[in-house]
Structures are given as structure tokens and as C-alpha cells.
Structure 1
Amino acid sequence: MHFVLEYSDNIDSDTLALQELFATLHDCALSTGLFPLKGIRSRAYACHDYRMGDGNPEHMFVHLTALIGSGRSAEEKSLAAEAFFAVYERHFAPCFDSRGVALSFEMKELEPVLKYNKNNIQDYLEAGA
């Protein structure tokens, strides 16, 4: 599973706290029992060219996409999505007190396709992970 965060570049690094957010999302994904640790990855991209609503440069946006493989029930996907959004919403909640915020989330199930990858991450994880 992959978490992909897109955000407006007007958010300071202390507010973003990406490593904290990613660690919490990874813990959340692992706690569902649906995603193996070796397959959980996160990345973020700052958007430099954007416009929101009336063009106020103080407005911010963050959009989180969770990409998952197929094979989970609708109920499992729903519970996982709700848990991910709760973590994400809590992380950025303080921003709503001081500026315009557009917070969005989607979870996409990847269609089975021809896919190739090589992964030895499990060889470098802490024992028992």
C-alpha cells in the first residue's frame, strides 16, 4: 500500500510534520491487519503552481491518496479508509483554526495488472515486524 500526499507549498515544515504523519499512517495501516509492513510506503509532493477559490495565498490544501492492491472486502476497505482519514484529519486539525483549508482523501484499489517489482525490505526490518 502506498500513501501519496500532495500539498500546497505554502505550508511550513513544522505544520506538515511529514515523518510524524507518515509514521502514524503506517502504524494505522499495520494495525488494520490488512497491509504487511514491507509493502507500506509514503511519499509527498509539494505543488508550486496552484490556485484555490478566490486566490487568497493563505489558503492551503492537502490531498492524501491511499493506493491499495485488490483482494480486500468492501467492509475492510471502508474501515481502513475511515481509520486513515481520522489520522489525517487529526494531524491537520489545528490548521482549521487559522486559515482556509481544503483537506481531501481518497482510497483507490488498483486493478490487477501486469506488475513487476523486487523488494528486500523485509530483510532490513526490525525483527518481528
Structure 2
Amino acid sequence: MPHFIMEYSANLDDDLDIPSLFEKLNETAIATGVFPIGGIRTRAVRCEHFRVGEGDPENTFVHLTAKVGAGREPEVLKAASDKVFETFTEQLQPIFDRRYMSIGFEMIELHPERNYRKNNIHEKIAKMKNDA
């Protein structure tokens, strides 16, 4: 974890460089030292139907949700959230400067007893480190 899920208004297709944005978000998540590399997932959901503010079709939005596993201290999650939001807004700033835009971010801690996972990517990364 985290799983980053970015929803965005379809009218941003020509402005968003999603691969670059995701690269920066993943780098930031790794740099916090809070999240294991093998648990990071990042995906985008294009919202064809949306209404922002008063309904001007030129208004845009981007909302990022980070779902994280339970058990970290609140201060640790707050610091990680601050870093992620900083990177997120820095990457979107050029668009924000040109267009009307709502940027949102929320980090959600998943329930410790109702969150199920199966992942062998951690083993792959450990092997890569050992082989290096």
C-alpha cells in the first residue's frame, strides 16, 4: 500500500501527463519511507460525466485518494500525506495556473480486519535487491 486512485474530469485529457504525474507520486511515496515499493498501485479513472462548481463545462477537477494499510501512527500518515499532496499540487500547478480547477486529496486508512491482500511483488523486489 498505498493504492493511489486518481479521478479526473474528461476535459483534462489534453493537459494531464498521467504517466509523469504517477512517476512523481510513486517516487514521493517511496521517498517517505513509509510505504513498501511492492505495495504501491497507481491508477486513473477518467470521469466522462461530471459537473464542477456552477456547471461551467470548462471547470476541471482532479481528486486523488490514497488507500493505506492500518497500523501507522497518525503523525506518520500526516507527514506522508503532506508530502504526497505537495507533489500532487506541484505537478498540477501549470494546469491550475491556466484553468479553473479543483484539486483534492484524501488518505484513507483501510480497516485492519476487513482488508485482504495477496501479493508476491515484495518477493520480486527483494530478489532484485539481492541480485544487484
Same fold, judged at TM 0.5 (above): yes
Offset at residue 122 of structure 1 (A):
3.2
Distance 1:98 1:116 in 2: 42
In structure 1, the residue matched to 2:94 is 94
In structure 1, the residue matched to 2:57 is 57
Tell me the SS of whatever aligns to 1:16.
Answer: coil
The answer to whether the 8 Å contact 2:39/2:122 transfers is no
In structure 2, the residue matched to 1:83 is 83
Query: Does residue 106 in structure 1 map to residue 106 in structure 2?
Result: yes
The answer to whether the 8 Å contact 2:29/2:35 transfers is yes
Tell me the SS of whatever aligns to 1:95.
Answer: helix
Offset at residue 113 of structure 1 (A):
2.2
Q: 1:23 to 1:98 in 2, by over 3 A?
A: same
Distance 2:57 2:119 in 1: 41
Q: 1:6 to 1:71 in 2, by over 3 A?
A: same
Counterpart of 1:42 in structure 2: which amino acid?
T
Counterpart of 2:80 in structure 1: which amino acid?
A
Query: Does residue 3 in structure 1 map to residue 4 in structure 2?
Result: yes
User: Identity percentage over the alignment?
Assistant: 42
Q: 1:97 to 1:116 in 2, by over 3 A?
A: closer
Counterpart of 2:75 in structure 1: which amino acid?
E
Distance 1:110 1:118 in 2: 15
Distance 1:49 1:89 in 2: 23
Q: Which moved more, 1:95-104 or 1:111-120?
A: 111-120
Count of aligned pairs: 128
Q: Give the TM-score normalised by structure 2.
A: 0.88
Moved over 6 A (4+): none
